Amino acid sequence: MASTFAHIMSGRKAMVALAGLSAGTLATSYLMRDSSSTAALEKMKLYPPSADFPDLRKHNNCMASALTPAIYTKLRDKLTPNGWSLDECIQTGVDNPGHPFIKTVGMVAGDEESYEVFADLFDPVIKDRHNGYDPRHMKHPTDLDSSKITSGLFDDRYVLSSRVRTGRSIRGLSLPPACSRAERREVEHVVVQALSGLKDDLAGRYYSLSEMTEKEQQSLIDDHFLFDKPVSPLLTCAGMARDWPDARGIWHNNEKTFLIWVNEEDHTRVISMEKGGNMKRVFERFCRGLKEVERLIQERGWEFMWNERLGYILTCPSNLGTGLRAGVHVRLPLLSKDPRFSKILNNLRLQKRGTGGVDTAAVGDIYDISNNDRLGKSEVELVQLVIDGVNYLIDCEKKLEKGQEIKVPPPIAQFKK
């Protein structure tokens, strides 16, 4: 597990230590304008921060709720050590005003240091998105010990499939909104090399998007594994689709139960899944696979981006902490029609989606049920929460089948104080 942050990668040409990233210390940031440059000074005079402040009056996203002229003035001229700016972080939120009912995040990180250099904006956004989690004063627990899970085997008559996903970023390389082609290729190289070291039930193969044959492509589509160039303006405005499909690919094990997306919305997205209701086994494989991959990259001097304030660092602030979404496809024909369904889910800290994933509708009473939270609770806690919650839902469904009464459960506490 990532420990201290004064890690200098041996043999790498890359950056200087991220020593400043431990809690309470701000990473170094550069003042963008070199004071000896007249063109730069002139531009600063002509365009003070107030001239560039975005018009967010019609916007409904976390960034727009948090950004003030004072914060913008303070941060506009700062850059991360890799040269990433505030304007670049918020561009996606400026370009996508959002929806009155759905509050999107509206900003992304370009690198690990973004969360430090632009903390004055990221912190309130994180607090808003993650139910009051305060990165300045709280610590995020990481726990990938799957042996702690109880009752992780669902009734197969209701649960059709189980899945756990997360993301991981490679420390020292910029994130998808900001990375150059060389960095993206380096991410691919590091990850693919590590994955080739996986053995037994985890042994598998990599399929590069730009070199895949038509046959391979069709097979990946049939398995529902293939991801395509992002079309969502939330992602394209953040620059994540640049140079597509260069250095993008999919790796999966031979058994098709462990899958990794390379260089899509994050450096890696890691997915463990199988048909049926054995969530315990899915999570066990998830944890084992992640730990193996981490060991393999560490052998070569790399590590994952992580710190104790924010947990695992990913592109979108909504995925900080565990970055974990654990869920099932479950049949709930009676419960889903009950007017108390949404409240029950809410109190259990679960969310529903259609079976096509985010922003899709349910088909044939089958719902995708997963955890709401990502940050402030550990992986074990969140998966247990999903297991207990889904078991409760199935229990309700069975009661309704028998004509019995069901109860709305008390709400689960947000954070341990």
Tell me which residues touch another protein (CB under 8 A): 13-14, 30, 32-34, 37, 39-40, 43, 46-47, 51-55, 58, 79, 81-84, 87, 91, 94-95, 178, 180-183, 185-186, 210, 236-237, 241-244, 246
Shortest spacing between CB 197 and another protein, in angstroms: 23
Show the tokens assigned to 370.
């997963």
Q: Where are the beta strands (DSSP E) in 304-346?
A: 306-307, 311-312, 325-331
Of 42 and 401, which has the nearer Cβ to another protein? Answer: 42
The gap from C-alpha 16 to its chain's centroid, in whole angstroms, comes to 26
Of 92 and 351, which has the nearer Cβ to another protein? Answer: 92
Q: Where are the beta strands (DSSP E) in 263-388?
A: 268-275, 306-307, 311-312, 325-331, 350-353, 366-371
Task: Answer positive or negative: Cα dihedral of 193, 313, 240, 256.
Answer: positive
Of 141 and 245, which has the nearer Cβ to another protein? Answer: 245
Cα–Cα distances in Å, from 82 out to 18, 78, 90, 117, 346? 12, 11, 17, 11, 40
Question: Within 13 Å, how many C-alpha atoms sit on residue 257's CB side?
Answer: 20
- Residue 118 CA to residue 109 CA, distance in Å, equals 9
Cα–Cα distances in Å, from 15 out to 9, 18, 76? 8, 8, 23
Angle, alpha carbons 133-135-138 (nearest 5°): 75
Do residues 234 and 93 touch, judged by C-beta distance below 8 A?
no
Shortest spacing between CB 182 and another protein, in angstroms: 4
- Residue 63 CA to residue 316 CA, distance in Å, equals 12
Shortest spacing between CB 176 and another protein, in angstroms: 14
Shortest spacing between CB 105 and another protein, in angstroms: 18
Shortest spacing between CB 174 and another protein, in angstroms: 8
Q: Classify residue 145 by burial, with Cβ atoms within 10 Å: 0-12, 13-18, 19+.
A: exposed
Which residue, among 281, 244, 152, 258, has the nearest Cα to 206 in the 3D structure? 258
- Residue 223 CA to residue 252 CA, distance in Å, equals 11
Shortest spacing between CB 86 and another protein, in angstroms: 12
Of 264 and 368, which has the nearer Cβ to another protein? Answer: 264
Of 151 and 210, which has the nearer Cβ to another protein? Answer: 210
Shortest spacing between CB 158 and another protein, in angstroms: 43
Of 58 and 417, which has the nearer Cβ to another protein? Answer: 58
Shortest spacing between CB 294 and another protein, in angstroms: 25
Of 110 and 135, which has the nearer Cβ to another protein? Answer: 110
Shortest spacing between CB 413 and another protein, in angstroms: 41
Q: Where are the beta strands (DSSP E) in 190-319?
A: 204-208, 249-253, 258-262, 268-275, 306-307, 311-312
Shortest spacing between CB 309 and another protein, in angstroms: 25
Q: Assign 3-state DSSP to the chain and report helix, strand, coil percentages, each to 5.
A: 35, 15, 50
Which residue matches tokens 């440059």?
37
Of 79 and 375, which has the nearer Cβ to another protein? Answer: 79
Of 209 and 293, which has the nearer Cβ to another protein? Answer: 209
Show the tokens assigned to 346.
């809410």
Shortest spacing between CB 387 and another protein, in angstroms: 43
Of 88 and 266, which has the nearer Cβ to another protein? Answer: 88
Do residues 81 and 27 touch, judged by C-beta distance below 8 A?
yes
Of 54 and 197, which has the nearer Cβ to another protein? Answer: 54
